[in-house]
Structure 1
């Protein structure tokens, strides 16, 4: 804010730039506001996992055309309410990071190899930031739309040489007594679903945690005891599917609802709180080239941003950081011809590509498939395209990271692009520099271009926590 105001005044010449010594730099002139250090009582760190810049752009376009308002994230830019930066997301062993290494860069302050959670190549550990804040007396927690044991929340919480050890991560959370842990992942806590048959839920209950498995149970939670809330077997439903399924709406909370509840559970703590919020299924949609899944989950993440900013504006003691850990798929709206009309089809969508492809049966006819897609997504594919999709159910050869059934996500995405003008560059993470925004006390500590590890110390410094 100070740097921007300084530039706007046009007083650069008044500083006598020509009088700078050879040892002085322009960077020294634009040093962060020292008053920001130690001034944030609370921190809310929001991550839209796997958000390419095209995702942010298209979600804003959809919001404007469907709801008549821009996204909260973009409005923060337009209204000049945030410090904005670009972030280098690389891991220790690759320019293209995975979510474990990227969250560990923030969580532990050190770049680690892909797949690792705060564990260095030599086997040594980096203490995760929520453990540091908990030791400093703050309440801490994570909420996510994927399993609470997944890479992004885990990177703020624990050390593990493998992000895949989600059964082990569930048990690692137990002794930490973090105040709020909400998301999916029942299969990692439920004895009937774990290979070792360990009843992790009962261990949390014996340790005096409050448990919640439905929206109603979440709403009844109080701030007296730590919370473990798990709402689905694996990840939570895509937002576009959720919006058209009353049963899901009655039993599972949205990301914004979890965010509001988590803040409410921790906001009155005398020493403040630190909360990580992850829109995890943005990444899952990108891995599947699932455009409706992607865009509506990004809009739900944006609503969580709105709720966090609303709290911070009233509280005036809260640093809000909004970013992504890496790009994924690099989707975009392409082509001048009928692009507006094609993109507007998303306003008719009732279901994600994930819902459609998982609803198809190998013996479905082309006519049935055409009708189903028309009802679910509002456009009519050709008979040849329907037959093409159905052939993949005979061989199940589809790719994509979370595509357990090997369904034809990539092929369906390419067919869908003919009707929506949204195309994808890949089904994998990218090395793109990503968007980063900060609001509130401590935001002026952020430089215009940062390495992902810098956010670790920025948060500690903003809160005045020395470790």
Structure 2
């Protein structure tokens, strides 16, 4: 019988993102997997478990967003676009986490985004729209999820905390070790941290506080909004002064605390920034997000593999970006001699450029993600915000140098032909200038990240289809007792595998 269920979601992780990780592990000359026989944890769990395929459309539409998709695999029922924890008709739907609580099990949510972001929210909140993050925080607290570890402090502190002269602001500065931006996104005076302490939560804001946190209930909020991206995590992982826990470290703590309940537990772990890198068409960052998630899978698999009471499900909510390596007509290979008989007196001369392995190391060596590159650019005085300045920042932080003309293309704008007054994303009169599939690049000024990703595509042998999601079916991996995991080995909708998970928990 199953006592524990662990669901691991790579947000935006389609077969293409798994392919990126696999190509890097197998072929990058300096791959970090060389010492591990070039085998990823993802490959290990696929070999050990049952492999299926999940399609994930939300109710009555062709493409899902993260909120509807997470709601569907949290509840086992179809949800409408952008809803949290409710069915397609707008009624609250019971989640697997709530079922676990009823059974006396411990519950946990871990994410490298924000605790109130779509995926974790869908397991323990019930709201009409994913943007209601202040209300979602209250739901999470009222649901008394035992372990909550993520970012997004801004939705848990009262509006008064934004006043830098207030006692509360100073107190929070001290408690968070002075490392976090203290600013509230709430519109009220509710201090959810104080409310959490009344409910006997230990609070943690740094890696060391998380390590020291005692008891069966922990609320850990380690950043103002999203947690560090994959590149930042890779570059700081071994820094003794690092104050923010990694996705793997948060997961380790969650398992440590939750597994003390002899009735078992439910845990959801999200690698949520795979999706963000996909939205930004940022391959280098997406690789590091996959490495971050794979390292966490490795730990969970090692923890669970010799147990017969634990079901681990690894999947995704959708694919983001329509990514792929592709062959091109640029930079053709020089003809060369081969030793084989069939090439006597003839050169090996492929018609196209099929992509070289050194691209993979160059992707790994990226130093900043695209949002950080553009943040540096935007911080320059307006007179210095020129294509030349962008060239300098990009070429210093990536190994795919761009030209002045390419930088100018990234910065070009045009009238927004899809202008909608007051719309969160489409309310800008001008928009970055996209030359093809422009309708699928929707996030206003952030589209500059995608334009950079598309400009360097020819140097990376990479292509992108969109700045949003695709309905490409995603991997579904189940590890645990074979009598339970066998049913996952087929093509099914996310609501179906959710029902299997809920049934296994019961």
Q: Determine helix, strand or coil for the equivalent of 1:50.
A: coil
Structure 1 residue 431: Cα displacement: 1.2
Q: Secondary structure at the match of 2:469?
A: coil
Aligned length in residues: 423
Q: 2:15 aligns with which of 25, 48, 53?
A: 53
Residue in structure 1 matched with residue 450 of structure 2 by the alignment: 410
Question: Can you list the C-alpha shifts for 1:84-132, whole angstroms capped at 9, x where unaligned?
Answer: 1011201112121111111111111110111112323443221111011
2:324 aligned residue: 332
Deviation at 1:373, TM superposition (A): 1.8
Does residue 386 of structure 1 match 2:402?
no
C-alpha contact 1:107 1:156 (8 A) present in aligned 2: yes
After TM superposition, the score normalised by the length of structure 1 is 0.85
Residue segments in structure 2 that go unaligned for 5+ positions in a row = 162-183, 328-351, 416-428, 433-437
Instruction: Answer with 324-333 or 358-367: which moved more.
Output: 358-367
The answer to whether the 8 A contact 1:130-1:140 is kept is yes
Could you tell me how far 1:76 is from its partner in structure 2? 2.9
Check 1:248–1:236 CA distance in 2 against 1; reply closer, same or farther (3 A cut). Answer: farther
The answer as to whether partners of 1:53 and 1:330 remain within 8 angstroms in 2 is no
Partner of 1:15: none
Of 143, 146, 151, the match for 1:176: 143
CA shift for structure 1 position 245? 4.6
Q: 1:401 to 1:70 in 2, by over 3 A?
A: farther
- The offset of 1:169, in angstroms, is 0.6
What residue number does 2:110 align with? 143
- Indicate if the aligned counterparts of 2:387 and 2:404 stay in contact, CA closer than 8 A: yes
The CA distance in 1 between the partners of 2:364 and 2:280, in whole Å, is 20
CA distance, structure 1, for counterparts of residue 19 and residue 78 of structure 2: 29
CA contact (8 A) 1:287 1:402 kept: no
Shift of 1:343: 3.5
State the 1:353 CA deviation: 1.4
Contact 2:277–2:283 (Cα < 8 Å) also in 1: yes
Name the CA shift for 1:390/1:179 in 2 (closer, same or farther; >3 Å): same
Corresponding residue for 2:424?
A: none
User: 1:249 and 1:424 mapped to 2: Cα distance?
Assistant: 37
Give matches, 1:51-200, under 5 Å.
51-64=13-26, 65=28, 66-67=31-32, 68=34, 69-77=38-46, 80-191=47-158, 192=161, 193=184, 194-200=186-192
Match of 1:370 in 2: 391
Contact persistence 2:326–2:354 (CA under 8 A) = no
Change (3 A) 1:350 1:396: farther
Q: CA deviation at 1:338?
A: 5.9
Per-residue CA shift, 1:299-339, capped at 9, x if unaligned? 11111111110000243421110000111111011115161
State the superposition RMSD in angstroms: 2.3
Structure 1 position 407, deviation (Å): 5.4
Alignment correspondent of 2:334 = none
For the structure 1 residues 43 and 374, does the alpha-carbon distance in structure 2 shift closer, same or farther, using more than 3 Å as the test? Answer: same
SS at 1:250 equivalent: coil
Which residue pairs with 1:344 in the alignment?
A: 361
Task: Determine helix, strand or coil for the equivalent of 1:415.
Answer: helix
- SS in structure 2 at match of 1:339: coil
Structure 2 CA distance for partners of 1:133 and 1:409, relative to 1, 3 Å: same
Aligned match of 1:448: 490
C-alpha deviations, 1:162-199, integer Å up to 9, x for none?
Answer: 11110001011122221111111111112231222321
Please point out which of 281, 290, 309 is paired with 2:282: 290
Structure 1, residues 399-435: CA drift from partner, whole Å, max 9, x if none?
A: 9889575451121111121221111111111111111
Residues 241 and 355 in structure 1, CA contact (< 8 A), matched pair in contact too? no
Q: 1:381 to 1:236 in 2, by over 3 A?
A: same
Cα distance in structure 1, aligned partners of 2:311 and 2:241: 31
Give the structure-2-normalised TM-score. Answer: 0.79
CA distance in 2, matches of 1:63, 1:256: 19
Change (3 A) 1:373 1:103: same
2:218 to 207, 213, 227: 227
Q: Are 1:397 and 2:431 counterparts?
A: yes
Match of 1:424 in 2: 464
* Equivalence for 1:34: none
Deviation at 1:445, TM superposition (A): 3.0
